[in-house]
Amino acid sequence: MSWFDRLKDGLSKTRTVITRDAAANWEMDWDDLEFALIGSDTGAKIAAEVVAETKKERERGTTFKEALETALMRQLEPDRTRQILRNVGFNLDVSRNMVAVKGKVVMVVGVNGVGKTTTIAKLGQYYQGHGKRVMFAAGDTFRAAATAQLELWGDRLNIPTITGPDGGDPGAVAFDGAQSRKARGYDLLFVDTAGRLHTKHNLMEELKKVKRVIDKADPGEPKETWLVLDAVTGQNGLEQARKFHEAVDLTGVIVTKLDGTAKGGILLPIARELGIPIKFIGVGEKAEDLQPYDAAAYVKALLDMPARQAA
């Protein structure tokens, strides 16, 4: 199954919510569309904007679906919209273009159970598949078995995994990991962290400390901090993102579990309101279910439109 087909499958719950009141040609009342968009967790303001844009496009004589596509793209990626719609030099096979990482160390953060550890495993496989030498650091020393979980992935993927004792200092593991990456000349280190609520001040302070420690272990290199958001949390994810961003300066967001929810519209406010690039999206538990995010692919998959390839 191609990534685009996986994405289409993964977004089916969201699509069902959006098209509940649509005719076969997707035509629907403006109120129904607005209500449906809100139901997919775009937020009221963005839903109203999308409806207004869709109306405007519709008046130009485009089909309902194409009008909606344009309106959604304007939210997700205003700069690229014109190019996408003309399909100029546009390639939906996102897997061919590797997602660039500026840093050599990527700390992965987020609340409990959002998919941090499995996402790190998938990222490891992804970057390894693109020729990068990858290491892991098992910085979740809090939850029993979290280290073993990452180590198991590391073994399977042949990715060296730096570990520390359960209940030990996560900063120490991150420090060892960053030093070890540097000494061994690996391209990328992913640092796992314990899940924490964005409202718990002391845990957010601990995260800041882990980040400082990584800087100290490898001062010359730029670092990144990626937040994993579970799509199922919908609008609440925005608040998580804001709080984590305040604490540790996020450089990327990964949205997981789009397959488990009708709240796939959450990507719109994430793109519009956070100003942090979405790097990957996940639509399942398998490694192939996490892929680079591409706004055009997301919209086409959501609206069940064919993925036209660039000439």
- The neighbour count for residue 19, using CB atoms within 10 Å, is 19
**How far apart are alpha carbons 220 and 243 in whole angstroms?**
27
Cβ-based nearer residue to ligand GDP, 74 or 198: 198
Q: Is 292 in the site for ligand GDP (CB under 6 A)?
A: no
Q: How far is the CB of 122 from ligand GDP (least distance, A)?
A: 8
Counting residues that bind ligand GDP (by CB under 6 A) gives: 18
User: Please, are residues 140 and 193 in contact by the beta-carbon 8 Å criterion?
Assistant: yes
Is residue 282 a contact residue for ligand GDP (CB under 6 A)?
Answer: yes
Q: Report the alpha-carbon distance of residue 217 to residue 310 in Å, rounded.
A: 44
According to CB under 6 A, which one of 139, 154, 164, 195 is a site residue for ligand GDP? 195
The answer to whether 149 touches 157, Cβ cutoff 8 Å, is no
Task: Determine if 261 is a binding residue for ligand GDP (CB under 6 A).
Answer: no
Closest distance of CB 296 from ligand GDP, Å: 20
| DSSP tag of 259 | G
- Cβ proximity to Mg ion: between 117 and 291 the closer is 117
**What CA–CA distance (Å, rounded) separates 84 from 215?**
39
Report the SS3 class of residue 247. Answer: helix
Nearer to ligand GDP, 15 or 257 (CB): 257
Shortest CB 60 distance to ligand GDP, Å: 37
Q: Among the residues of the chain, which ranges form H helices?
A: 3-10, 12-19, 30-39, 44-59, 64-76, 81-86, 116-129, 146-157, 170-184, 201-217, 236-248, 267-269, 295-302
Least gap, CB of 291 to ligand GDP (angstroms): 10
**At 24, is the secondary structure helix, strand, or coil?**
coil
Binding residues for Mg ion, per CB under 5 A? 116-117, 140, 146
Q: What's the residue count for the chain?
A: 311
* The one segment of 78-86, 180-188, 217-225, 256-264 that binds ligand GDP by CB under 6 A: 256-264
Q: How far is the CB of 245 from ligand GDP (least distance, A)?
A: 18
CB nearer to ligand GDP: pick between 11 and 303? 11
Q: Which does 292 bind (CB under 5 to 8 A by kind): Mg ion, ligand GDP, none?
A: none
- Integer Cα distance of 291 and 302 in angstroms: 15
234: left (phi over 0), alpha (psi -120 to 50) or beta: left
Residues in 101-120 at the binding interface with ligand GDP, rule: CB under 6 A? 110, 112-118
- Residue type present at position 25: N
Q: Which does 279 bind (CB under 5 to 8 A by kind): ligand GDP, Mg ion, none?
A: none
Applying the rule CB under 6 A, the residues between 121 and 140 that interact with ligand GDP are none
Q: Does 260 bind ligand GDP (CB under 6 A)?
A: yes
Stretch that binds ligand GDP, among 25-33, 172-180, 211-219, 255-263 (CB under 6 A): 255-263
* Closer to Mg ion by Cβ: residue 191 or 295: 191
Site membership for ligand GDP, residue 257 (CB under 6 A): yes
Nearer to ligand GDP by Cβ, of 21 and 166: the residue is: 166
Judge whether 282 and 290 are in contact, CB under 8 Å: yes
Longest Cα–Cα distance of the chain, Å, equals: 64
| 256 binding ligand GDP? (CB under 6 A) | yes
86: CB partners within 8 A, 6+ apart: none
Binding site for ligand GDP (CB under 6 A): 110, 112-118, 195, 256-257, 259-260, 282-285, 289
